[in-house]
Amino acid sequence: MPQIVVENLAKTYQVPIRRPGLWGAFTGIAKRSYRQVDALDNISFSIDEGELVGYIGPNGAGKSTTIKIISGILNPDSGRCEIDGRVPWEDRVAHVSQIGVVFGQRTQMWWDLPVIESFDLLRDIYRVDTTEYLKTKDELVERLEIGDLLNVPVRLLSLGQRMRCDLVAALLHRPSILFLDEPTVGLDSVSKLIFREFIREINKERGLSVILTTHDMDDIEALCKRVMVIGKGQILSDGPLSALRNQISPERLLIVDFETEISQLEGIQAAVLENDGHRARLSFNPNQISASELIAQVSALHPVRDLFVENPPIEETIARLYTENKL
């Protein structure tokens, strides 16, 4: 029984058009004209409890719209959605009590209050039992090492500190689902690693379902076994990252450093992308020839000093997916 069920969700926005120029401004006051933007075009997916799913797509693809609908703050035009047995936008208050959200671009805390007061305020708003709250809060504060920040007003925190506090804030009421919307935007490497470590652990330990929306493919690679790709309001791909890679860019790279200079590479079952004499980049399809076979072929040609095998960068794979679908 999946925890999140989405079936044929559709949403169209009416965006007001403003005719350019002065005349346009005047006529705009009298009569508004609109154009339709199909944000979601009958998308469907389901997510089981405890899954850690990545949700990616180019800008304007419909990611935010999807997140807003399944968090209950937006009504779809048609379609069905059920989360933990509830319809999000119909049972908004009950539903949002069970979810936590972290936005990379904005904070859920109160700007001019010390962090701890934001936490206490959230405890009251979410009606968390005091003993439970203290236990959860202490645990999270220690986990994310924000003990020193509790008395600092939110507006004085650095981005990395704020993100850690936002994570705690989102989890104080022990939600069953966590939405992360571009959480690592602008973070330094250390903060990103802390963040990924924490999400990984909390997903594993508590069985907390996590939906991660991001443009950072390293986050996806580090955390998500399953990735959903949305483009132009439609789900283009839904499954393991490895399957996506295999589908879009199955080829892998073999980079070889030769002992001595070599001018030509022939008779190998691989495409030569680059060869400057000392180092060659070869692209091969593992379905046609295995890595070890290709290595044997290359070594037979010429003495090899070093080599490594790589997947094409995930960014390239995703970019290719977008362009192939004319996104």
Partner 1 sequence: MSGYRALISARFRTLLQYRSAAIAGFTTQVFFGLIFVLIFEAFFESSSLPQPMSYPEVVTYIWLGQAFIMMLPWNVDRDLQALIRSGGVSYELLRPMDLYTAWFSRAVALRTAPVALRAFPLLLITALFFDLTAPESPAAAMAFVVTMIGAIILSCAITNFISISMMWTVSGDGIASFAPAIVMMFSGMIVPIPFFPDWIQTIIRILPFSGLVDTPYRLYLGHLPASDLGFLFAHQIIWSFAFILLGRWMLNRGLRRMTVQGG
Which residues of the shown chain bind partner 1 in the complex (CB under 8 A)? 13-16, 37, 39, 68, 71-75, 92-94, 96-97, 99, 101, 103, 106, 108, 110-113, 117, 120-121, 124-127
User: Considering the complex, what minimum distance in angstroms separates the CB of residue 208 from partner 1?
Assistant: 17
Residue 96 near residue 104 (C-beta atoms within 8 A): no
Between 112 and 324, CB nearer to partner 1:
112
Q: Which of 142, 156, 143, 223 is nearest to 184 (CA)?
A: 223
Instruction: Give the helix/strand (H/E) hosting 237.
Output: strand 234-240
C-beta of 92 vs 215, nearer to partner 1? 92
Contacts of 272 (CB under 8 A, 6+ apart): 265, 280, 281, 282
What is the closest distance, in whole angstroms, from the C-beta atom of residue 124 to partner 1 in the complex?
Answer: 4
Instruction: Pick the closer one to partner 1 by CB: 95 or 252.
Output: 95
Distance, C-alpha 87 to centroid of its chain: 24
Of 96 and 159, which CB lies nearer to partner 1 in the complex structure?
Answer: 96
Per-residue tokens: 84:
């933990």
Provide the minimum distance between the beta carbon of 169 and partner 1 in the complex, in angstroms, as a whole number.
11
Tell me how far, at minimum, the Cβ of 13 lies from partner 1, in Å: 4
Minimum gap (Å) between residue 14 Cβ and partner 1:
6
Residues in CB range of 107: below 8 A, 6 or more apart: 154, 162, 165, 166
Using DSSP, state whether 256 is helix, strand or coil: strand
Is the separation of the CB atoms in 273 and 83 below 8 Å? no
Closer of 110 and 222 to partner 1 (Cβ)? 110
CA distance 29 to 219: 46
| C-beta closer to partner 1: residue 91 or 293 | 91
Minimal distance in Å, beta carbon 100 to partner 1? 9
Q: Tokens standing for 326?
A: 């004319």
Q: Residue 60: is it exposed, middle or buried by C-beta count within 10 angstroms (0-12/13-18/19+)?
A: middle
